[in-house]
Amino acid sequence: MKIAIIGTVASSFYGFRAGLIKALREKQYVIYAFTSEYSMDDLKKIEALGVIPVTYELNRGGMNPLADAKATYALSKKIKEVAPDLVLSYFSKPVIFGTLAARMAKVPKIIGMLEGLGYAFTDQPEGLNNKTKLIKNIQALLYKIALPQLDKIIFLNPDDPKDLLAFYNIKAKKVEVLGGIGLDLDDYSFQVIKSIESPIKFLFIGRMLKEKGIHDFIAAAKMVKQRYPDVEFTVLGAIDTSNPGALKQSELDQLISLNIINYPGQVDNVQDWIAQSHVFVLPSYREGVPRSTQEAMAIGRAVITTDVPGCRETVIDGVNGFLVEKWNPKALADKMIYFIEHPEQIKAMGDESYKLAQEKFDADKVNKRLINMLGL
């Protein structure tokens, strides 16, 4: 049996799909990985998984309908050459255009997986600007065309199908909710907190974008520092200079010089940084199910996150951490102060995070569920 998996960025195959691919290869399936953003090194890494890479063209951020139509037709020809029994697409554009291309190629079974609805469907405190509203409406229209062509659509959290399918009255033959795509728990093993003495250390991991909650994290850190100046706040992640909502380099430099945050930059040893922290914080505006939070939970850290789609799948409020109102740095600071003043809860809630990660985010269990949803 031949399976075509259609994504965009090549690194997502060996970075986030390796466990799924390994499980499918063990069942003797032949896997084709369709990628539109790749280097030769990426293609070698995909081949090392025992997978056949197939390159295709797709402008991930473009909004040119003629270019998209041409790319869809070209993709359908490549799919037809492979003649897969099943096509699984993930990410927004592959789910839209990969589905239409697979239908044109007369693939017997077509399944899509949306791991989040993206920034156009993410509420902003000042409301969406006109350009984002237009993108959102175009995406909704394209989903309305493509999703009814799927045999099944898989979401990661239960809010996304409500906010997309129900709100826009989009027909889908079958809908399933997977939960987080999971982690190899051997790579993120439980690590005991060495000391809960001062200073308490809070950690943020993510691109330094407004919708990831970086500005709320910093505002809360400033509030906490006024009462507890020794507390440490560390940020791991990259600055996105092309994004208007991103933290600016000049702002970052000032925060470092004022000793508000520590910034080691982008690091390869994320596990070590999580292990050195006490509490993980992600005040995001919306997620599929955030991987960074799953990593922190697997290592055994308490979590403070926002009560929004995706994030709320990772925390049972008051058990392994806290859910706070979005766009509310004061509420965030209050929960940080709770951990400072009740340090015994850091370990207690961290232990609960570990238990939840074992139950919900073990990639072996998740991949078995996903393979079952694929009908394999």
Low-confidence ranges of the chain (pLDDT < 70): 60-61
Render pLDDT for 334-376 as a digit per residue (tens, 0 to 9).
Answer: 999 999 999 999 999 999 999 999 999 999 999 999 999 999 9
Report the pLDDT value the prediction gives residue 245, as an integer from 0 to 100. Answer: 84
Mean pLDDT for the chain overall: 95
Report the pLDDT value the prediction gives residue 240, as an integer from 0 to 100. Answer: 84
List, in order of start, the domains of the chain with CATH numbers: 2-182+362-373 (3.40.50.2000), 201-360 (3.40.50.2000)
Is the full-model pTM beyond 0.85?
yes
Report the pLDDT value the prediction gives residue 241, as an integer from 0 to 100. Answer: 82
Report the pLDDT value the prediction gives residue 61, as an integer from 0 to 100. Answer: 67
Q: 347, 353 in Cβ contact below 8 A? A: no
Report the pLDDT value the prediction gives residue 197, as an integer from 0 to 100. Answer: 82
